Structures are given as structure tokens and as C-alpha cells.
Amino acid sequence: MKGNMISWKDLYIGGQWVRASGAEIAVVNPATEEPAGVVVSSSAKDLDDAVAAARRAFDGWRTVPVERRLAHILAIAEGMRERQDELVRLIATEMGAPVRLGRGVHTGLPISVLESHRTIADSLRFSTEVGNSLVVREPRGVVAAITPWNFPLHQIIAKLAPALLAGCTVVLKPSLEAPLSTYALCQIIEQAGLPDGVVNLVIGRGAESGEALVRHPGVDMVSFTGSTDAGRRIGSLAADLVRPVTLELGGKSANVILEDADLPVAVKVGVANAFMNAGQTCSAWTRMLVPRSRLDVTRELIAKYAVANEPGDPMDPATRMGPVVSARQRESVLRYIDGAVSDGCELLIGGVDRPHGLDRGFYVRPTVFVDVPPDSRIAREEVFGPVLAVLGYETEEEALELANDSSYGLAGAVWAKDRERALDFAREMETGQVDVNGGRFNPLAPFGGYKRSGIGREFGTFGVEEYLQVKSIQL
């Protein structure tokens, strides 16, 4: 540390902290626009060393009993709990998530995911008999885990925990926008006592280090979370090598409020969901579908509930929404807002102006467009910022058509007084996860997308199975 600057110039390779040999890269605090830290990128040799360390560790790790692998996973959870306050501050500093969100979603959720592997381990079956065959499941090998900045620890744990439980070793490459909390996590992993080389950390830009890692001959599988465009590139590279890949990509999720729903509750939860993490959530409900007859009431409710999401200092415990992660991200979101205004979409709240009293920082006002045409960009493209599009519909059939009229299919929601009616609607939605009347996140249930939202699943036994390959032995 130098003043308030965090300087982290090492990589975690083969159980050792070794000096990175690439270029220095600044980490910017999005709330202040000031440098918050510096990291050093990996060279080609660093990547080779990390993959080689993971390869050496694999043969031993795969033979470790599941109970011992689980013990290491739970030790990581305990280490995160002990350093939770520090992790919350690091995430607030590097990507602007408010500390109240940091304690719950950014750190509390990955701890819960780690601990869910107790239940998962009990349900795994690595061999089964089918007729005269023994069907065995074996770890795939060395996994390249490439993760984004929007939920830095949660996205890492979603890959790391199932890969470790399956018996794989990992080379982790986090996003350069939010690498600081990952260093702290690797310290926790070191203290958890995993054998040398089971988890390795490299740093670098996606177009350079990420692609080099995907193409590396020592890698057996790639797990990527990020934008759909980047995922298509990763998938293409992996396909050329006939290398298995999981892709958790973008979304434009529909929040469908049916005629008999409790409108105030559905709107309140929907607004909070759309603006959580400053809208930088792949599964955010960024399309709210409302009966046209209830649009006027919906306008009033949104104006009422959106006030709670006014941006502020992420270190203030009262703040619900911080800045977006970078100047580039802010510019992208503002272009979408400006474009929607130019297209004649009805702006209810927000806009391109800076939030009152926030002259610095990459802040965007929570913005809502109402009665949005279904073919507009704001209704079809992933903005990845605090922007909500409200669409009206006449019939339930039209609502379903609008919900499914998307190239994405990651998440969604449906609200109705009649639970069975909501369930019937949810079954018809073309998306990987649907919340009914505000159903809670379940770390044992699968998460992943239809269509351009990705390939494969995370969480629960479904997530572990992605890291296993199947062999049939005829007896």
C-alpha cells in the first residue's frame, strides 16, 4: 500500500507469489475517477507457468477424496467470512458497488454458494451401473476461468467451487477493471491449504491474455462469463480446438406483470432489480411488461420507488446505487439513453445529465422509459446500466410474445395473484431462469441461458457436471 493506493504486482502461480513480468495497469476508483491501485499484467511466460503449474497439480488433485476437496472449499468460505469487511471495501473501491450491496450480494452470496457445496457433494455420483456398463464421471482437467468485473468474487466462485469439487485445477483470469478483490481471494485460497498449483492467478487484457489462455495447448476446458460479443469470440476459438466451453453471457430479461398481480409490489421489486449494481447485471429485469390499462398507475409507482435508487458514495451505508464501473461504460449507457430520447421514447425519469451534487465519478441517473416500442434499441439491446424499458401489452398472449421476442434468454420474472397461472406462464418463457412472484435466488438450482445468453449451467450439481466428462466401461 502507498497512501490509499493498492499496489499488487505479483501473480499466484504454483502456490507461490511471483512477480509479474508484464506492464503496469492502473485500477481507477469509479466514484472518484482517481487511481485506486496498480497491478501488473502477465507475460506469455507467466501464462505458460500458470498452466504448467495447474497441469502438474491435476494428477494429484483429481485423486483427492471428495470430502477433502469439499473441506478446502469450505475453508475458502470461512476465510471470506473472516475478511468480509475488507472484501466489501475493495469491491466498492474497484467497481463502485455500495457497501450495503457488497455485504449482501457481492460477498455474502459467494459465501453461500461455497457452502452450498456441502449439499452438492452429498448428491454427486461419480460412477453408476447401467446394464453391463460402468459409467464414470471424471474431471476434465485444467480449466481456464475468465471472469468479468460486475460481480468479481461471485463470478469467480461460481466457476472455482464446482471445478474444485469435480477435481479440476484452475487458471483464473479476472477482469482488469476489478482485480483487487481477486488478489485478496487468492490470499484466502492460499490460507485454505489447497495443494500448490490447484488454483493459479494471471492478469491481463481479454484480447491478449484471455485469448492466449483459451488457445493454450495445456488447457482442457474454458469457462467464460462476459458480453455476448466476447463470448462468441471465445466460443469460436474453443470450437477450433474442439475444446469444451461454458459461456454465461448477456441478457435482456423480461419482468412480466400479469393483470391480476399485486402491481405495487411487482413494480417496487422490478425497479430495485433493474437498478441493482447500477444495472450492471446480466440477469437484470430490464424490460418491464405491464397491461396497457395499468400503465398510468405504473408510471406513478415507478416515480415513487425510483427515488430510493438515487446514486451516491458507495462507501456510504445509506447508498443503494453507486457509479458504473468506468468512463467507457458511462459513455456507452449515455449513448443508449440519448438514442432512446432521439427515437421518441417517453422519458419518465433520469436522462443524460449528471446526478445532482455528483460532479465527479462515473455516475448515471436511474433512467426509465415508458410505453417503449418493442422494436426500439432500448427494448432489444443490453444496456448494462441503470436503464429500464417499460412496455405495454393488451393480452396475455401478447405479453408472452413480447417476453420471448428477444435474442437473449438468461432470466426473467412473472407476477400474478394466481400462482398456477404464473407458473404456466413461466413454463412458456424462453429463458434459463424465471422468478415467480419474487422467488428467491437458489444456489442449488441451475443458472444459465437460452439463445445468445450462453451455453452450459452454473450452480448446484448442474454446475459441477460441466466440469466432468463421462466414460463408459463395458463389463
> Is residue 447 situated within a structural domain?
no
Q: Which of 15, 187, 227 is nearest to 90 (CA)?
A: 187
pTM of the full structure: 0.96
Asked if residue 323 and residue 226 are part of one domain, the reply reads: no
Asked if residue 468 and residue 431 are part of one domain, the reply reads: no
Asked if residue 462 and residue 341 are part of one domain, the reply reads: no
Asked if residue 315 and residue 220 are part of one domain, the reply reads: no
Asked if residue 190 and residue 307 are part of one domain, the reply reads: no
Phi, psi of 112 (to 5 degrees): -65, -40
Which residue in the block uniquely carries the three cell numbers 507475460?
43
Q: Are 257 and 288 in contact (CB under 8 A)?
A: yes
The range of the structural domain enclosing residue 283 comes to 254-441
Asked if residue 92 and residue 70 are part of one domain, the reply reads: yes
Q: Are 55 and 218 in contact (CB under 8 A)?
A: yes
> Is residue 446 situated within a structural domain?
no
What is the spatial distance between Cα 187 and Cα 189, in angstroms, rounded to a whole number? 5
What is the spatial distance between Cα 467 and Cα 169, in angstroms, rounded to a whole number? 10
> Is residue 219 situated within a structural domain?
yes
- Helix, strand, or coil (residue 10): strand
- Helix, strand, or coil (residue 81): helix
Q: State the catalytic residues.
A: 248, 282
What is the spatial distance between Cα 183 and Cα 193, in angstroms, rounded to a whole number? 16
Which residues lie below 8 Å from residue 342, measured CB to CB, with a gap of 6+? none
Asked if residue 370 and residue 234 are part of one domain, the reply reads: no
What is the spatial distance between Cα 11 and Cα 50, in angstroms, rounded to a whole number? 9
What is the spatial distance between Cα 291 and Cα 393, in angstroms, rounded to a whole number? 5
Give the total number of structural domains in the chain: 2
Asked if residue 168 and residue 139 are part of one domain, the reply reads: yes
Q: Are 411 and 403 in contact (CB under 8 A)?
A: no
Residue numbers in the chain where pLDDT is lower than 70? 1-4
The whole-number pLDDT of residue 341 equals 97
The whole-number pLDDT of residue 2 equals 43
Q: Is 314 exposed, middle or buried (0-12, 13-18, 19+ CB in 10 A)?
A: buried
The whole-number pLDDT of residue 205 equals 83
> Is residue 353 situated within a structural domain?
yes
> Is residue 365 situated within a structural domain?
yes
> Is residue 1 situated within a structural domain?
no
- Helix, strand, or coil (residue 201): strand
Asked if residue 153 and residue 68 are part of one domain, the reply reads: yes
Asked if residue 261 and residue 232 are part of one domain, the reply reads: no
Asked if residue 276 and residue 132 are part of one domain, the reply reads: no
Q: DSSP letters along 310-344, please?
A: -B--TTSTT-SB---S-HHHHHHHHHHHHHHHHTT
Asked if residue 304 and residue 174 are part of one domain, the reply reads: no
Which helix H or strand E contains 130, and what residues bound it? strand 127-130
Tell me the CATH number at 218.
Answer: 3.40.605.10
Strand partners, 142: 169
Tell me the CATH number at 313.
Answer: 3.40.309.10
Q: DSSP letters along 391-423, please?
A: EEESSHHHHHHHHH-SSEES-EEEE-SSHHHHH
> Is residue 448 situated within a structural domain?
no
